[in-house]
Structure 1
Amino acid sequence: MDCSLSYATILKQTVQKATIAQPRLQAIQLYPVCDADSGHFLILATGWDKQQWIDSILFHARLVNDRVLIEQDNFEEGLTHALIAAGINAEHIVTSLEPHGNSSQTEWVDAV
């Protein structure tokens, strides 16, 4: 089954919803960046935190071969549960890759 279209939609909606739901502390703004063509879905945080400029990635997921690879998730509770609740199969989500970890988790990433 080709899940990529629906998974892309779910990722986009979840990323957009997460940027709206976060409280605006200091002058930091959250921006959703969703590119279904390349398969990258990010949340950027930029702005001033006290006397320091912040420009960082809070969340980054890639859609690869009908799988969701969570590259980075700096939300307190994470967005994985929100993605699963929205309809992404939990078995299609990889949240961490270890260089010498389980090869079954990395096989589909290496194929790209």
Structure 2
Amino acid sequence: MDELAYYQDLTKKILTEYCCLASKSNSSNVETFTIFDDNSGNYLMVNLGWNLDKRVKNTVIHVRLRNDKIWIEEDWTEAGVVTDYLDAGVSDSSLVLAFHPPHLRQYTDFAIA
């Protein structure tokens, strides 16, 4: 399996696991689901619905596969989705914490871009 296919499969697995956990704790009026697009390299977990009179519409996790790296665009999980990638053996040089401004990424232990 080539690296891109591995990253696609791993990302889908990780987001599906988070989605299953979140779905168990959400109210019946808020749906948690994943969106996977292999063509554009975008993988999301979102919440959508209503909490009383308030609209719920947010992206919990957004991962992009871009330039042979895994870009964490958004991550509102407790431990951080990057931990799941590291636990799966992905090197820190293949992970970009894209939610940090480019000029600050040099201070992380991960790829700059």
* Residue aligning to 1:105: 112
2:17 is paired with a residue whose SS is helix
Change over 3 Å in CA distance of 1:21–1:40 after alignment to 2: same
What's the TM-score, normalizing by structure 1? Answer: 0.81
How far does residue 88 in structure 1 lie from its aligned partner after superposition? 2.3
> Runs of 5+ in structure 1 lacking a partner?
107-112
> Runs of 5+ in structure 2 lacking a partner?
none
CA separation in 2, counterparts of 1:35 and 1:86?
Answer: 21
Runs of 4 or more above 4 Å deviation? none
Aligned sequence identity (%): 23
Larger RCO (CA under 8 A, 6+ residues apart): 1
Q: RMSD in angstroms over aligned alpha carbons?
A: 1.7
Q: Retained in 2: the 8 A contact 1:47–1:55?
A: yes
What's the TM-score, normalizing by structure 2? Answer: 0.80
